[in-house]
Amino acid sequence: MAGQVKTRLVPPLTQEEAAELYRCLLLDKIRQVGTLSGVDPYLAYTPPEERAQMASLAPQDFTLIPQAGSGLGDRLHRLSAILLERGHPGVVIIDSDTPTLPSTYLLDALDRLQNRSTDLVLGPAEDGGYYLIGLKRPCRSLFDSIPWSGPSVLTETLRRASAQRLEVATLPPWFDVDTPNDLARLRNDLATNGGDVAPHTRAFLFERQAG
């Protein structure tokens, strides 16, 4: 919704454009996850009353699950706990704003989580956060009172994982799209790399540029 997502991209985008970009990012991430085999895909959303709108974005094999909690950390913990309580042997939670993230990274996360010695998988974001977290059992301490959107998210998460004696597997770093510089980098990457990566985001960026 305009004014509620990707506000750090306003300007250079308008609030309406930032919301449309976010919709494209989400569609591309749903498309990417849909290519993975052997997984049960979920789409977590908020607010709960917008279920119909979210259902219109996701294929039928995606299960919609409303987010619940007082903040990002609480929502992430509750989501992971709910999915694990449903009997899944592991859960991988990924962001929606890494449209050029290689699918091989997601496959690597799944492989590492299936390793009996691995308790936690993290995909570091270049800004100090993470674009992916995978775990086999609920662990609230990984999420409570984390300085979200700051440069120490990953460091603090790793510190807490060490305190819990969790065996951590780390994926290669990647960048997410939060700032105007990130947006410029994304546009350049998509312009210089062909293929069918992020088709919705690609169309939005270059149709807007042409206009």
**Strands in 20-146 per DSSP E:** 42-45, 63-66, 91-94, 120-124, 130-135
188 neighbors 181 (Cβ within 8 angstroms): no
> Residue 170 contacts by C-beta under 8 Å, 6 or more apart in sequence?
121, 122, 123, 124
Three-state SS for 1?
Answer: coil
How many other C-beta atoms can be found within 10 angstroms of the C-beta atom of residue 209? 9
Residue positions counted in the chain: 211
Residue 209, pLDDT score: 60
pTM of the entire structure? 0.94
Sole residue written with tokens 């440069």: 151
Q: Where are the domains of the chain?
A: 1-35+179-211, 68-176
Q: Which residues pair with 92 in a beta bridge?
A: 134
For 101-113, how does the pLDDT look when each residue is reduced to its tens digit (9 = 90+)?
Answer: 999 999 999 999 9
Q: Which parts of the chain have pLDDT scores under 50?
A: none
Packing angle between helix 199-210 and helix 180-192, nearest 10 degrees?
A: 100
Pairwise CA distance, residues 57 & 55, whole Å: 5
Q: Edge to edge, what strands does the sheet with 120-124 contain?
A: 91-94, 130-135, 120-124, 168-170
Distance of CA 162 to the CA centre of its chain: 23
Structure tokens of 53? 């709108």
> What integer pLDDT is reported at residue 210 of this predicted model?
59
In CATH, 68-176 is 3.20.20.210: no
